[in-house]
Amino acid sequence: MAVRDGTVLVTDGPFPEFKEWFAGYDLLTAESIEEAATFMAKHPTAVMGRVYILPVVKLPWDQD
């Protein structure tokens, strides 16, 4: 996901479109990927770079 000229560009696919670097991550709670994209569209990285949004999946062996 990226924001260019005020337009949110969302790409759906198995591979991220960023290959340059990975600088860190933000963890947020959202009801859907669309809600997460709306929130992250305001992030400075979305304007200057790209944001890769992934769901967090609880694995069977994870404990609370």
Q: Is residue 57 in some structural domain?
A: no
Q: Is residue 61 in some structural domain?
A: no
- Can you give the pLDDT at residue 35? 92
Q: Which residue has the higher pLDDT, 49 or 5?
A: 5
Q: Is residue 63 in some structural domain?
A: no
Q: Is residue 37 in some structural domain?
A: yes
Q: Is residue 55 in some structural domain?
A: no
Q: Is residue 28 in some structural domain?
A: yes
Q: Is residue 32 in some structural domain?
A: yes
Please state the domain count of the chain.
Answer: 1
List the domain range (segments joined by +) for residue 15.
2-48
The DSSP 8-state label assigned to residue 48 in this structure reads H
- Can you give the pLDDT at residue 2? 78
> Which two tokens mark 55?
């769901």
- Can you give the pLDDT at residue 15? 60
Q: Measure the CA–CA gap between 55 and 33, rounded to whole angstroms.
A: 8
- pLDDT, tens digit (0-9, with 9 covering 90-100), for 1-48: 778 888 887 777 666 555 556 667 888 899 988 898 888 888 887 777
∠ Cα 51 55 58 (to 5°): 150
Q: Is residue 38 in some structural domain?
A: yes
